Chain A
Amino acid sequence: MISASTDLRRRQDNKIAWFFCLPALIGLTFFIFFPFILAVFLSFTNLRLGSPLPLEFMGLSQYSRIFTDTAFLHALKNNTVFALIVVPLQTCLALLLALLINQPLRGMFIFRTLFFMPVIFPLSLVAVVWILIFAPGPQGTLNSLLELITLGSWEPRDFLHDPHLALPAITITSIWQGVGFQMVILLAALQSLPTELYEAAKVDGACRSQQFFHITLPLLKNPLIFVILVTTILAFRLFDQVQIMTRGGPNYATTTVMYEAVSAAFGSQQVARGAAMTVVFFIIVLALTLLQRYIVRQEGASS
């Protein structure tokens, strides 16, 4: 009797759970699952935006084309380089800022607002402002600043059109814009750390760096993992800055997978080609996420 009633209860609970999940599930199905299946399907066709011709299957040729396309290969490389630089740098910077802002000083909220502000600005606005900062010639903000610092020995550079400087320029913009977000997450984590541990450490005579490495860092492990994961995914979908600041140039130095996909689908109207690129993009992000989860689990088991 008892087991039957709990079973019934559980079944009802299940039903209610499904009911509450329904809106989210419908949304996910329509806006994530279907479009993705559609993208996979379209990547095997010759679909061109608005074509009156019947759809034709081309097998894997969209894939073989993008993997022999220099622009796309550059895009993959740039994304990788960008993520390799941005993820560690931005995470460390965010942690540093969070530690600084966590000091119990008066007026700290001003700094917190200032550091978080770029996150609220639309990316397009940020990009335009940084175009002005990177402007070539001696009148450019950064050029004139560097000239001042180096006492006039700096040669003005055209940052956004220099094949070696364009990607670093975009990297700086991105970090400046994005770091506030990670900072806020880490700050929240820092503020929830139990103070007793620090008091105990003080009693034991641990110095501040010992406190940081043996208390703060281990306790921040989970938020840090989250921040690293999110930053990696955000780094791979780099698009706005490229679209506005460099349009993928010079010589593909700043093109990204997202930029190539959007310009294929909407510039050349080759939707199928764009779809193939986004499928590749999805697989990369999925693989990275799985890899990170795997590493985390390994560490969790060892500790």
Chain B
Amino acid sequence: MQKTLRTFITIFFLFFLLPSFTGCKGQQDVKNDSLGGKIQLEVWAHAGQEKERKVLEQQVARYNQKSSTAELHLTFIPERNYNSQVQAAAIAGDLPDILEFDGPYLYNYIWQNHLLPLEGLLSQSLIADLLPSIIDQGTHGSHLYSVGSFDSGLGLYARKDMLSAINVRVPQSVSDAWSADEFKDILRKLAEEDEDGAVLDLKLNYGGEWFTYGFSPILQSTGADLIDREDYQHSTGILNSPEAVAALQNLQSWFQAGFIDPNLDDAAFTTGRVALSWVGHWEYSRYKKACPDNLILLPLPDFGEGSRTGQGSWNWGITRNCKYPDKASSFLTFLLSTPEVLAICKANSSVPGTKNAVAQSELFNENGPLRLFAAQLLGGVSIPRPKTPAYPVITTEFQKAFQQIRNNGDVQEALDKAASNIDQDIRDNHGYPFRNFQ
């Protein structure tokens, strides 16, 4: 009962009470605006891992020291409630000048008209240096709204000795990824050698967004998708297309055959229980430590139309609340300079967001052990999550469907349901029209 109430109190405050308090807040901001001759700017970022937070704090301090005209104030917000905090602040008219947000929420914020286009604010050469994946994700209509100092990617980590024990072909690049049939055959052979038959880790211990991020590339690799990307108006016929159903039935068969380790302890790969782990760039340092001379990185299997990977991570944007966008953008330019990009990427072991930084990164340059991730993002193999404000519904529906498939439910039924629920939400919101701007 109290939970229900809390929910509605929140909404009650959001919609009716907060706007009345905003008047005085705004005045305070104006007073602080030119403290000590420097322009004061608010920055909100997600409270990620400690190392990452520290680096960002240092970056802000470095910027404040360097800049004679602007002073930044950094606020960390817990990752779990990040979007709700942003929504509350937006309704209260209290958004910061510079806002960090997770990639898929971008289109929601653009739809709500919270963000400024960045083209005039960042130099052409800087934009040209960004990874194509970051530009792809940051662009809506004809404008660029967000930039990121790092990006992400998926791959299969493998234990070399276990693969050589069954004598299989080892793919050298994205273009010769294992085919879906080949992959299943490999799983079977690995299982014959394995004590408990579970040979693949799909990070089932993760929650929520991981399932969409990690497994919608399977759909895209068959030519299907989560939603029709022409106009983002319907999912039926795309998410429940015969290709999508076949691909996810294939995935379900791995579960049925017992190839998948439940990985509750998050140690399936590090303890050597499985030969293959389907996960992102972030596991590299842990895996490297667990098997230093035995680790190889492979592209995800090709389900027909070529191997695909997820992409996207936290991004920066400038809100319409910002009175000095040129100052705010100078911070973004600073964050995207090569040493700063490399500093944050070292802290969270992500893929550097600019081509320059990639070239200078030990892990991601042409000969680096994680080149695959950079190559995927540079080579257009990565697919951003659907660029629509309907994304929260799309991802929840796909997660539900995935859980059903994982637990041996009917694939066609699960996907039909998900697609029709997504379509219903889009209809309820009149197709999520973008008005007044673009």
Chain A residues near B (Cβ < 8 Å): 31-32, 34-36, 38-39, 42, 46, 48-53, 58, 65, 70-71, 131, 135-137, 139, 158, 161, 163, 233, 237, 239, 247, 249-251, 258, 261-263, 265-271, 274-275, 278, 281-282, 285
- A249 contacts B403, CB within 8 Å? yes
Known: A163-B407, A278-B4. 4 other contacts (CB 8 A): A53-B429, A58-B428, A251-B403, A265-B11
| A267 CA / B207 CA spacing, docked (Å) | 13
- Give A135 to B266 CA distance when docked, in angstroms: 12
A58 surroundings in chain B (CB, below 8 A): 428
**Measured CA separation A39–B113 after assembly (Å):** 27
Pairwise interchain contact B265-A52, C-beta atoms closer than 8 A: no
Are A267 and B396 in contact, with the CB atoms below 8 A?
yes
Does the CB pair B12–A38 fall under 8 Å? yes
Binds A, one of B67-75, B83-91, B221-229, B280-288: B83-91
Ordered by A's residue number, 15 sampled pairs between the chains whose C-beta atoms are within 8 Å are: A35-B8, A49-B87, A50-B87, A51-B112, A51-B429, A52-B113, A71-B400, A131-B264, A161-B262, A250-B403, A251-B404, A258-B3, A269-B393, A281-B4, A285-B1
Known A-B contacts A35-B9, A50-B112, A249-B403; A282 and B4 likewise in contact (beta carbons under 8 Å): yes
Q: Does B112 contact A262, Cβ atoms closer than 8 Å?
A: no
Please, how many angstroms separate the alpha-carbon atoms of A265 and B5 in the complex? 13
Least distance between A73 CB and chain B CB atoms (Å): 13
Which of B4, B404, B425, B429 makes the CB contact (< 8 A) with A237? B4
Q: How far is the CA of A262 from the CA of B7 in the complex (A)?
A: 8
Contacts of B171 in A (CB 8 A): none
Contact B404–A32 (Cβ < 8 Å)? no
B26 in contact (CB, < 8 A): no
Contact A247-B207, Cβ < 8 Å, known A31-B9, A32-B5: yes
Interface string of B1-33 (1 = CB under 8 A from A): 111110111011000000000000000000000
B262 and A158: CB pair below 8 A? yes
Partner of B4, one of A51, A258, A268: A258
Bound CA–CA A215/B350 (angstroms) = 70
Complex Cα spacing A262 to B417, Å: 20
**A50–B8 contact, CB under 8 A?**
no
B407, A250: Cβ atoms closer than 8 Å: yes
Would A52 and B9 be within 8 Å (CB), given that A135-B264, A270-B425 are in contact?
Answer: no
Q: Which 8 pairs show the lowest CB-CB distances between chains A and B?
A: A35-B8, A250-B407, A50-B87, A268-B393, A267-B396, A278-B4, A268-B396, A251-B407
Max chain A Cβ within 10 angstroms of own Cβ: one of B11, B112, B208, B433: B11
The bracket for how many chain B residues form the interface is 35 or more
Q: In the complex, which residues of chain B have a beta carbon less than 8 angstroms from the beta carbon of A261?
A: 4, 7
> Once the chains bind, are A237 and B392 in contact (CB under 8 Å)?
no
Q: Note all chain A residues with C-beta closer than 8 A to B63.
A: none
Whether the Cβ atoms of A268 and B5 lie closer than 8 Å is no
User: Quick check: is B111 within 8 A (CB to CB) of the other chain?
Assistant: yes
Shortest distance between the CB of B271 and any CB in chain A (Å): 11
B289 at the A interface (CB under 8 A): no
Question: Cβ of A258: which chain B residues have Cβ within 8 Å of it?
Answer: 3-4
Q: For residue A32, which residues in chain B have a CB less than 8 angstroms away from its CB?
A: 5
Q: Complex formed: what's the CA distance from A49 to B309 in Å?
A: 30
Tell me the nearest residue of chain B to A69, going by C-beta.
B421
B66 interfacial by beta-carbon distance below 8 Å? no
With A52-B113, A249-B407 given, is the CB distance from A136 to B264 under 8 Å? Answer: yes
A-chain residues with CB within 8 Å of residue B113 when the two chains form the complex: 52
Q: Are B9 and A266 in contact (CB under 8 A)?
A: no
Q: Which residue of the partner chain B has the closest CB to A71?
A: B400
How far apart are A26's CB and chain B's nearest CB, in angstroms?
14
Nearest CB on A from B369, distance (A): 31
Q: Which residues of B contact A135 (CB under 8 A)?
A: 264-265
- Please, which residues of chain A bring their CB within 8 A of the CB of B108? 50
Evaluate whether A237 and B2 lie within 8 angstroms (CB atoms) in the complex, with A35-B12, A53-B429, A265-B7 already known: yes
Check A136–B262 contact: CB distance below 8 A.
yes
How many Å lie between the Cα of A38 and that of B16 in the bound state? 11
Q: Judge if B409 is at the interface, Cβ distance under 8 Å.
A: yes
Question: Nearest-CB distance from A260 to chain B (Å)?
Answer: 11
Closest Cβ of chain B to A248, distance in Å, is 8
- The answer on a CB contact under 8 Å between A36 and B1 is no
Q: Cβ of A269: which chain B residues have Cβ within 8 Å of it?
A: 392-393
Question: Could you say which residues of chain A place their CB within 8 Å of the CB of B11?
Answer: 35, 38, 42, 265, 271
A65: chain B residues within 8 A (beta carbon): 424
Decide: A239 and B425 in contact? CB cutoff 8 A.
no
Structural contact, A237 and B407, CB atoms closer than 8 A: no
Partner of A46, one of B392, B408, B428, B433: B428
Nearest neighbor of A42 in chain B, beta-carbon distance: B11
Question: Which B381-414 residues have C-beta < 8 A from chain A?
Answer: 392-393, 396-397, 400, 403-404, 406-409
Residues of B contacting A262 in the complex (Cβ-Cβ under 8 angstroms): 3, 7
> Do A268 and B425 touch (CB < 8 A)?
yes
CA distance in complex: A131, B7 (Å): 26
Nearest-CB distance from A263 to chain B (Å)?
7
B245-266 with Cβ < 8 A to chain A: 262, 264-265
| One of A34, A42, A52, A139 near B111 (C-beta < 8 A) | A52
Within 8 A of A (CB), among B407-438: 407-409, 417, 424-425, 428-430, 433, 435
Q: Complex: how many Å from CA A277 to CA B301?
A: 41
Chain B residues with Cβ under 8 A from A265's Cβ?
7, 11
Q: Which residues of B contact A275 (CB under 8 A)?
A: 8
Bound-state CA distance A71–B421 (Å) is 12
Check if A50 sits within 8 Å of B91, measured CB to CB: yes
Return chain A residues, CB-CB under 8 Å to B404. Answer: 251
Fill in one digit per residue for B267-310: 1 if any A CB lies within 8 Å of its CB, else 0.
00000000000000000000000000000000000000000000
Q: Is the CB of A266 within 8 A of B5?
A: no
Compute how far the CA of A281 lies from the CA of B112 in the bound complex, rounded to whole angstroms.
31
Q: In the complex, A254→B12 CA distance in Å?
A: 29
CB-nearest residue of chain A to B424: A65
Residue of A nearest to B392 (CB): A269
Contact of B5 among A31, A49, A158, A250 (CB under 8 A): A31
Closest residue of chain A to B397 (Cβ to Cβ) is: A268
B46 to chain A, nearest CB (A): 17
Question: Once bound together, how far apart are the Cα atoms of A36 and B4, in whole Å?
Answer: 9
A237-B428 in contact given A50-B87, A136-B264, A163-B407 (Cβ < 8 Å): no
Q: Which residues on A sit within 8 Å (CB–CB) of B8?
A: 35-36, 38-39, 275, 278
State the CA gap A34–B13 with chains docked (Å).
11
CB distance from B203 to the nearest CB of A (A): 15
Complex Cα–Cα for A50 and B105 (A): 12
Bound-complex Cα distance A242 to B190 (A): 35
